[in-house]
Amino acid sequence: MVAVIAIDGPSGSGKSTVAHLVAEKQGWFYLNTGAMYRAVGLYLADNNIPCDDSAVKEEMLEAVDVDFDEEGRILLNKKDISGRILTPEAARHASDYSKLSAVRKLMTALQRKIGLSRPSVVEGRDIGTVVFPDADHKFFIVASPEERARRRYLQLKEKDPKTTITIEEILRRQQERDKQDAERALAPLKQAEDAILVDTTEKTIDEVVEEIMGRL
The b-or-e profile of 175-193 (16+ CB within 10 A means b, else e) is eebbebbeebeebebbbbe
Q: How many angstroms separate the CA atoms of 90 and 107, rounded? A: 16
Q: How many angstroms separate the CA atoms of 131 and 11, rounded? A: 18
**Pairing of the two strands 29-32 and 137-142:** unpaired
Selected from 6, 11, 13, 21, the binder of ligand DC by CB under 6 A is 11
Selected from 76, 181, 198, 200, the binder of ligand DC by CB under 6 A is 181
Q: Considering beta carbons, is residue 200 or 214 the nearer one to ligand DC?
A: 200
Residue type, 94: A
Q: How far is the CB of 138 from ligand DC (least distance, A)?
A: 13
Selected from 91, 171, 198, 209, the binder of ligand DC by CB under 6 A is 91
Residue 149: exposed, middle, or buried by beta-carbon count in 10 A (0-12, 13-18, 19+)? buried
Q: How far is the CB of 98 from ligand DC (least distance, A)?
A: 4
| Residues in 25-54 that interact with ligand DC by CB under 6 A | 33-34, 37-38
Q: Does residue 20 bind ligand DC (CB under 6 A)? A: no
Q: How many angstroms separate the CA atoms of 81 and 76, rounded? A: 7
Q: Considering beta carbons, is residue 187 or 212 the nearer one to ligand DC?
A: 187
Binding site for ligand DC (CB under 6 A): 11, 33-34, 37-38, 91, 94-95, 98, 124-127, 177, 181
